[in-house]
Amino acid sequence: MSEKKQILVTRSSLPPFGEYMEEIRPIWDSHWLTNMGPKHRELQEGLQAYLGAERLELFTNGHMAIELTLQALELEGEVITTPFTFASTTHAILRNGLEPVFCDIEPGTYTLDPAKIEERITEKTCAILPVHVYGNFCDTEAIEAIARRHGLKVVYDACHAFGETKDGKGAGTFGDVSCFSFHATKVFNTIEGGAACFREEELGRRLYELKNFGIHGPEEVSAVGANAKMNEFCAAMGICNLRHVEEEIAKREQVDARYRKHLSGVPGLTLNPDQAGLKRNYSYFPVLFDPEAFGADRDEVFAALAEEGVGARKYFYPLTSAYSAFRGKYDPEETPTALRVSRQVLTLPMYGELELADVDRICETVLRCREGAGA
């Protein structure tokens, strides 16, 4: 019996090999490998324009972008956020000595539900940290109106929204700060990297100090900081990938359309929604499985795909509020929509180079679970 072709849940996008070699040649010639050299500055300018950001700082990864942003804002107290997110969001709050207050999500977009936010606000609340999920945008107007009424900062985890626009506005223009990850698995990657987009010049100064030991010159260290600088090789990868990111998104759109051709309208399956005014990046293909209507639950589909050599991901499961690290501290039942979605969601393989014939094979496996259950 022939071995089944393995299909990963994602695969890093890479530029042509020769293009990257040419991009790093000046680094080899200059021996300037890090400390915000020419490639760092070039990528910073390119991303600032692409994301529509007034100001932008690059970081060694997306987590440090969020963590150091919260530190730079000098926040104290509670941060209202979502448990339906990657560990980084919650950990960045806690590592700043802040307390996450978990709010439920909207069932349609899986993003923070504005209708549930105000009931979570106390005299200790200092900020709201919403997350754009699977490229679905938060209700930015409602969230920022609440923040203005209560004098709160808004920091978006925009790691899933790179390259997207909402009503023509770039994803880097919302809130006090919008943070991005350029991890290898993202639509756009710098191998490892991240960025914070913002408007205030003073915030930029603090972010710079925090990512570079507070150093302002060879004999001037005016603040206490960390080391979160992006190196020149990662910046060079970003410069190359930024040239091709629209091609990558266009390829992903074709993969998305093929999935929808097979899976739209199937009882018990909920696909990612359309959002008016949103230019998508097709970063993920999440499917919710209602076991009663579909005839098989998420875990059974996950296992069936694994048997066929297909890597899917229970993303996000468990909720961050249900992590063993926090056992007994938070109650996931307080966010019932997020809890239900976490138990039903499966993200199917999604990347630009995914062959449409492989999408067909993945969908056939998914639908066989329904047939096997007698649906």
Residues 6+ apart with CB under 8 A from 79: 70, 93, 98, 99, 100, 101, 125, 126, 127, 128, 129
Tens digits of per-residue pLDDT, 176-208? 999 999 999 999 999 999 999 999 999 999 999
Tens digits of per-residue pLDDT, 289-312? 999 999 999 999 999 999 999 999
Single out the residue of 83, 66, 84 nearest to residue 75, CA to CA.
66
Q: What is the side-by-side order of every strand in the sheet holding 285-289? A: 269-271, 285-289, 345-348
Supply 60's token pair: 């060694």
Tens digits of per-residue pLDDT, 115-145? 999 999 999 999 999 999 999 999 999 999 9
Per DSSP, the three-state class of 11 is coil
- The answer to whether residue 250 scores a pLDDT higher than 60 is yes
- The answer to whether residue 1 scores a pLDDT higher than 70 is no
Residues 6+ apart with CB under 8 A from 370: 266, 268, 294, 295, 296
Question: What average pLDDT is seen over the chain?
Answer: 97
The model's pTM: 0.96
Supply 298's token pair: 């998420």
Tens digits of per-residue pLDDT, 327-363? 999 999 999 999 999 999 999 999 999 999 999 999 9
- The answer to whether residue 259 scores a pLDDT higher than 50 is yes
Cα 36 to chain center, whole Å?
A: 24
User: β-strands 269-271, 285-289: how paired?
Assistant: antiparallel
Rounded to an integer, the average pLDDT of 237-254 is 98
- The answer to whether residue 60 scores a pLDDT higher than 60 is yes
Opening angle at CA 191, ends 190 and 194, nearest 5: 55
Q: In this structure, are residues 159 and 184 in contact, taking their beta carbons and an 8 Å threshold? A: no
Q: What are the C-alpha distances in Å from 279 to residues 12, 53, 189?
A: 22, 17, 19
Assign 3-class secondary structure to 189-244: CCCCCEEEEECCHHHHHHHHHHHECCEEECCEECCCCCECCCCHHHHHHHHHHHHH
Sorted by where each begins, the domain ranges of the chain are 17-240, 245-372
User: β-strands 153-157, 125-129: how paired?
Assistant: parallel
Calculate Rg over the CA atoms of the chain. 21
Opening angle at CA 237, ends 163 and 67, nearest 5: 65
| Fold designation for 245-372 | Aspartate Aminotransferase, domain 1 (3.90.1150)
Q: Find the range with the poorest average confidence among 12-16, 74-78, 216-220.
A: 216-220
Single out the residue of 151, 158, 150, 155 nearest to residue 133, CA to CA.
158
The phi, psi pair for 17, rounded to 5°, reads -55, -45
Confidence at residue 5, expressed as pLDDT on a 0 to 100 scale: 87
For 17-240, the fitting CATH number among 3.40.640.10, 3.40.50.300, 3.40.190.10, 3.50.50.60 is: 3.40.640.10
Q: What are the C-alpha distances in Å from 151 to residues 23, 71, 267?
A: 45, 18, 44
pLDDT category of residue 32 using cuts at 50, 70 and 90:
very high
Supply 112's token pair: 């923070």
Cα dihedral 79, 83, 87, 91, rounded to 10, equals 20
